[in-house]
Structure 1
Amino acid sequence: MTRIVCAGITTLDYIYQLDAIPTAPVKYRSRHMTMSGGGLAGNAATACARLGARVSLISRLGDDAPAAAMRDELVADGIDCALVRTCPGHRSPVSAVMVDPAGERMVVSYSDPDMPAGTDWIPDDLGRRADAIYAETRWIEAAFTVLPQARTAGIPSVLDADRRPTRPEVVSLASHVGFSETALRDLTGIDDLPTALAHAAREAANVLLVTDGPRGAWYMEDGKARHAPAFAVAAVDTLGAGDTWHGALTVALAEGQPLASAVRFANGAAALKCTVFGGRKGMPERDRLEAFLRGA
């Protein structure tokens, strides 16, 4: 079984299905509501586990009720939470998410600004515990701690750059960096994504990619920006689609899939996630994804 270590933020999401995204300070009635774990690393870990990997999560939570709910859900998905640290006196990250009928979402999130950021408790032998390592930019200190371990061990690593990093040098630490379209445009100042990706990759020694929502993804290979189209699905909830994509990419790279195949694998997982309301509740199991890819 492929072993993956994911490091970063995990949250508890309160997800509301609305007829339209709120635009005025008045009361709105939700047609459906659910509670689900979320957060970049928490979601990526869940995506990896459902796709058949053995996953260990490194994260920080408060000593509150949301923390207990998050742990229970992660453990139910088979994720090892031994390295999810409880920080006494602090509050766990939570989000309120509004989803419209087209699946687009608005997120209002809270993270304790005083949550300890130190990483001296993270093991230094992760390269012996994993076939790939995932990190993200919301807990940048963790990314700087775990990604070099992947490089030393000679295993793939994925950085989810969903926003422009506060310390841009982190981009060079991962073997594969998946930007959001907003983060890549902010980083390069270039609107056209393949041009922006090629610009960012001019002096890069690693592989750069960018997700483009319903248009799929772009990735650099042999000095060229290549396009992997999205799969056409009836989207009802895009919450967590990017996290699913990064988790699936990590699994595929850990398994040694060629880059083009890995991106297609990630596109398929993200597409299936969008067909189910409830954030990570829509993340596919391996059998469902493989059947979907065979039929596409």
Structure 2
Amino acid sequence: MSPKITVIGSANIDYIMQMEHLPSPGETVTDGTFAQAFGGKGANQALAAAQAGAKVSFVGALGHDQTALDYKQSLEAHGIDCSQLSLEDEWPSGSAFVMIDRQGNNCISVAAGANAALSPERVHAVEALMLQSDWIILQQEIPQVSNQAVLAFAREHGLPVLLNYAPAHDLSLHLDAAVHGLVVNEIEAADLLDQSFEPGDREAVLKLAEALRRRGGHRFVAITLGAHGVVLSDAADCTYLPAFEVDAVDATAAGDTFCGALALALGEGQSLPNAGRFASAASALAVTQLGAQSSIPTRQAIDAFLLSQKGTDAEGASDTRC
């Protein structure tokens, strides 16, 4: 049976500019290419979980115009329950301006728009939905008080929550055992612990993961390292999984794809290392395509990719330390 996942989070309209290199302050880079797409961390993660095989409900907010209607219909076409995705008359849809260089690196600026309408009252209205969920996924693009309301309800009822603490612009959210799984990148991990580290120092990242897990009482912590892989920490050990080698085009939504696929795999009962490898494969496929939701792979594509890796150095590669 497919796991039931409820994603409470953001939906944005993405305005994508691909260029030779990212501009420095005051610099204008010409000869770019432009595209408009659907994105937002919450909706991206909902789609990633659904594409991987989960039964997904998405709780969010958009403006009330034709683009928002098209967005909602697109999510529904992928089998996502959008009965709790509201269309707000007084707010424009959230928007994100995404600049991408030829190596797939990006810079993103976000305007919250209708995402600010996702209030604690909206959270309380979907408590019955949360109670039916195998996993609840949260991110940091909706009001902090709404995330706090979700965590308080999850704590009260013992519901498993996967929190992607990104973007880490506000570190005030209380992290405790209500967050079963915490997913961050290495910069966010260091910010949460108020520590410095040398990028690329695997030993330092392993220690960050273990420190975060112990401090918050989480069942596990995942620190994503982009093209360098992921570190997973649970009560059993800390494991480093190297990234799959692919030709990167656009890293947008790679982390969101990881989160959605990870929740699906855990909901299926996979072990944390196996779930991490599955999610890493989904993320690797995502970076080979331009755009956010348009890049998220299907379960068939993920399984085929993993099968293609059998017998390679990437098959089963890991390094356990803690």
TM-score using structure 1 length: 0.91
Report the equivalent of 1:294: 307
Equivalent residue for 2:213? 201
Structure 2 CA distance for partners of 1:13 and 1:104, relative to 1, 3 Å: same
Distance apart, 1:113 and its partner CA: 8.7
- 295, 314, 318: which is aligned to 1:282? 295
- Residue 82 of structure 1: aligned partner: 83
- Tell me by how many angstroms 1:257 deviates: 0.7
1:230 aligns to what? 243
Q: Distance in 2 between matches of 1:11 and 1:281?
A: 14
Percent identity of the aligned residues? 28
Select the residue among 251, 261, 266 that pairs with 2:274: 261
Structure 2 CA distance for partners of 1:253 and 1:147, relative to 1, 3 Å: farther
Shift of 1:194: 1.5
Between 1:114-123 and 1:226-235, the stretch displaced more is 114-123
The separation in 2 between residues aligned to 1:293 and 1:266, in whole angstroms, is 11
Q: How far did 1:118 drift? A: 2.0
Alignment partner of 1:124 is 2:127: yes
**Corresponding position of 2:185:** 180
Shift of 1:271: 0.3
Are the structure 2 counterparts of residues 71 and 114 from structure 1 closer, same or farther at C-alpha, using a change threshold of 3 Å?
closer
Q: Secondary structure at the match of 1:168?
A: coil
Amino acid at match of 2:134: D
- From 24, 29, 32, the counterpart of 1:30: 32
Q: Is the 2:42–2:139 contact (alpha carbons within 8 Å) kept by the matching residues of 1?
A: yes
Between stretches 168-177 and 52-61, larger displacement belongs to 168-177
Larger mean Cα displacement after TM superposition, 73-82 or 280-289: 73-82
Indicate the residue corresponding to 1:144 in structure 2.
148
Distance in 1 of aligned mates of 2:39 and 2:207: 32
Change (3 A) 1:92 1:7: same
Asked if the contact 1:127–1:152 (Cα under 8 Å) also holds between the matched residues in 2, the reply is no
Cα deviation for residue 53 of structure 1 reads 1.3
Structure 2 length as normaliser, TM-score? 0.85
Q: After TM superposition, list the pairs within 5 Å mapping 1:85-96 onto structure 2.
A: 85-96=86-97
Amino acid at match of 1:290: D
Structure-2 change in CA distance of 1:38 and 1:114 (3 Å): closer
Structure 1 residues not aligned, in runs of 5+: none
C-alpha deviation, 1:281, in angstroms: 0.9
Q: 1:143 to 1:170 in 2, by over 3 A?
A: farther
After the TM superposition, which of the residue ranges 13-22 and 36-45 deviates more from structure 2? 13-22
Letter paired with 1:266: A
> Separation in 2 of the partners of 1:158 and 1:100?
30
CA distance in structure 2 between the partners assigned to 1:150 and 1:287 by the alignment: 32
1:168 to 164, 170, 173: 173
Residues 209-241 of structure 1, C-alpha deviation per residue, up to 9 Å, x if partnerless?
211111111111336432111111110110000
Unmatched tracts of structure 2, length 5 or more? 198-203, 310-322
Q: How far apart, CA to CA, are the structure 2 residues paired with 1:114 and 1:247? A: 19
Cα distance, 1:152 vs. partner?
5.1
SS, match of residue 49 in structure 1: helix
**1:286 and 1:128 mapped to 2: Cα distance?**
26
